[in-house]
Structure 1
Amino acid sequence: MYLYLIRHGIAVEPDPLALDPMADDEARSLTKLGRKKVEQVADKLAKLDLKFELIITSPLVRAHQTTAIFIAKQLSPNLEVSPELKPSGNLVKWLQEWDARPTGTNITHLALCGHEPNLSEWAELLIYGQVCHKLILKKGGIIGLKFANDRIAIGTAQLWCLLPPKFII
């Protein structure tokens, strides 16, 4: 199984005067440049014939917009939302949700779209079993992990790609 961790594209900056910083952060959208770069990444992935059976996204606007571009470029027919992909999300809880899914869903290429530092930390946990703070995922970048079997588990992944957007587009 292949798991792709995709960071959302460039988003508008947080409003320092927002009355509710949490709500402001959740509503931040992609910038025009952010949309353009995500479209370029999606176009390149499509040319490489990389497809995902499923993309799971954070419910935050900028991540949802990023995955909407991937869906529009036909990189996946299926999109789901998981609150565990929010910046406050938890890998162990997400793994429990994933493991609780009905069996028989033949997914070999799964993409998760979320935020930093979560995605880099999740990648390190899945590879090394601990957070090392060595991986950094740029906006619009992708970390590719390979699992020897169909089970995603901590400490069992092999890092096979770490792509900042400038190497993709």
Structure 2
Amino acid sequence: MILYLVRHADAEPKKPGMSDFERELTLNGRETTQKMAKALKKMGVKIDLIVSSPLVRAVQTAEIIQDVLNVGAEILKLNELIPGSDFMAFLSVISNLEAENILAVGHEPYLGEFLSWFICLSKPIEFEKNSVACVEVERFSQCGGDLKWFVNPEQILKLVE
């Protein structure tokens, strides 16, 4: 299985009375995600299934990627991608999915901490907004992943310029 990890795009600041779960993507966040998804398409990335944190900004990022990459399957919203969630719970869910190429949209610091734990690094990897990591899953456990590549937004956006 190949697992792509994507941090959501730029989101609006939290307003008084607004839950962090409700924050939407900014116009710039939408445009950047569109370009990032086009770059993934240009790289030949094929996705069978997209899973996303249920937070609005992550779901919106996932929807843009779904549209650009023509992913027919419905986006699966996973509470296991909310920051602070258990890494093994996330792996347990994806291990039971019928897909070879899964793209997961989430947040910092969760993604950086998860990736480091999964590929056996001692320090978290920093995921800027719209960063993408490609990991080959060898085992659904700590140190069970093999990092194939990692690109930040500046690198991936150069592919579509």
Instruction: Name the TM-score, length of structure 1 as normaliser.
Output: 0.85
| Structure-1 separation of matches of 2:106 and 2:123 | 17
For 1:16-31, what aligned pairs fall within 5 Å after superposition?
18-19=16-17, 24-31=19-26
Counterpart of 1:145 in structure 2 is 135
3-state SS, counterpart of residue 51 of structure 1: coil
- Unpaired runs of 5+ residues, structure 2, are none
- Unpaired runs of 5+ residues, structure 1, are none
Structure with larger Rg: 1
| Structure-2 separation of matches of 1:7 and 1:82 | 14
The structural deviation recorded for 1:74 is 2.7
Count, aligned residues = 156
Counterpart of 1:93 in structure 2 is 89
Instruction: Give the aligned residue type for 1:12.
Output: E
In 2, are the aligned partners of 1:46 and 1:75 still within 8 Å (CA)? no
In 2, are the aligned partners of 1:53 and 1:108 still within 8 Å (CA)? yes
The structural deviation recorded for 1:123 is 0.5
The structural deviation recorded for 1:75 is 4.5
Counterpart of 2:105 in structure 1 is 113
| Structure-2 separation of matches of 1:36 and 1:76 | 19
Counterpart of 2:79 in structure 1 is 83
| Structure-1 separation of matches of 2:134 and 2:22 | 27
Q: Cα deviation per residue 1:8-33 (whole Å; 9 max; x = unaligned)?
A: 00111123xx24xxx52100010011
| Structure-2 separation of matches of 1:30 and 1:66 | 8
| Structure-1 separation of matches of 2:124 and 2:84 | 20
In 1, are the aligned partners of 2:88 and 2:141 still within 8 Å (CA)? no
Q: Cα deviation per residue 1:113-133 (whole Å; 9 max; x = unaligned)?
A: 0000000111011111x6x33
| Structure-1 separation of matches of 2:114 and 2:124 | 12
Counterpart of 1:33 in structure 2 is 28
2:28 is equivalent to residue 49 of structure 1: no
In 2, are the aligned partners of 1:2 and 1:146 still within 8 Å (CA)? yes
| Structure-2 separation of matches of 1:133 and 1:13 | 28
Counterpart of 1:123 in structure 2 is 115
Instruction: Name the TM-score, length of structure 2 as normaliser.
Output: 0.89
Instruction: Provide the alpha-carbon RMSD of the alignment.
Output: 1.7
Instruction: Give the aligned residue type for 2:143.
Output: G
In 1, are the aligned partners of 2:47 and 2:69 still within 8 Å (CA)? no
